[in-house]
Structure 1
Amino acid sequence: MECTCCGACCVAPDIAALDKPLGLRCPHLGADNLCTVYERRPQVCRDYAADEVCRRIEAPTLEERVNNYLALFQLTAEAEAVRESGCASMRMARALRERK
């Protein structure tokens, strides 16, 4: 499958190499849903390939695609907790989970 540049893979999952928590927009994702550091992006981003998940989360808006991704992997509650707590990094999100 060819990438549709929808941006969901840069928002929904956590990305350890960037210390990006679950459900938050990658700081390198531009307003056009394209990577602003594409030529220097981390290996994890280089290795990611569009797949069946991309088809399963299709929706008109980025927010809907992200919500579909989180629901598909049963991560909605965890992502909401990250957003509500104001976690800006995976380390902060992990510390939050460990306190519960």
Structure 2
Amino acid sequence: MECTRCGACCVAPDIAALDKPLGLRCPHLGADNLCTVYDRRPQVCRDYQADEVCQRIEAPTLEERVHKYLALFELTHEAERVRQGGCSSMRQARRG
């Protein structure tokens, strides 16, 4: 499957290598939804391949895609807790 460069994989999941919590935008994701550190991105990002999840969360906007991703994996409430807790890192989110 071809990557659509939607940016959902840089927002919805947590990314431990970047200390990025669940449901929050990666600080390296540019306004164009492309990685600003692509050549230096962590291995977990390099290894990620577009798959059937990308098709299942297809939507017109990044926000809608993220919402569908979180719902698909039943993480909506956890992501909301992270957002409301003002967590800027995974370490901070885990303490909450």
- Deviation for aligned residue 1:11: 0.0
Distance in 1 (CA, whole Å) between partners of 2:67 and 2:84 is 15
Q: Which residue of 1 aligns with 2:32?
A: 32
1:12 aligns with 2:12: yes
TM-score (norm 2): 0.99
Q: Which residue of 2 aligns with 1:72?
A: 72
TM-score (norm 1): 0.95
Which amino acid is 2:84 matched to?
E
The CA deviation string for residues 30-78 of structure 1, in whole angstroms up to 9 with x for no partner, is: 0000000000100000000000000000000000000000000000000
Q: Which runs of 5+ in 2 are unaligned?
A: none
Moved beyond 4 Å, runs of 4+: none
Give aligned-pair identity as a percent.
84
Q: Which residue of 1 aligns with 2:57?
A: 57
Matched residue count: 96
Distance in 1 (CA, whole Å) between partners of 2:40 and 2:3 is 18
Q: Which runs of 5+ in 1 are unaligned?
A: none
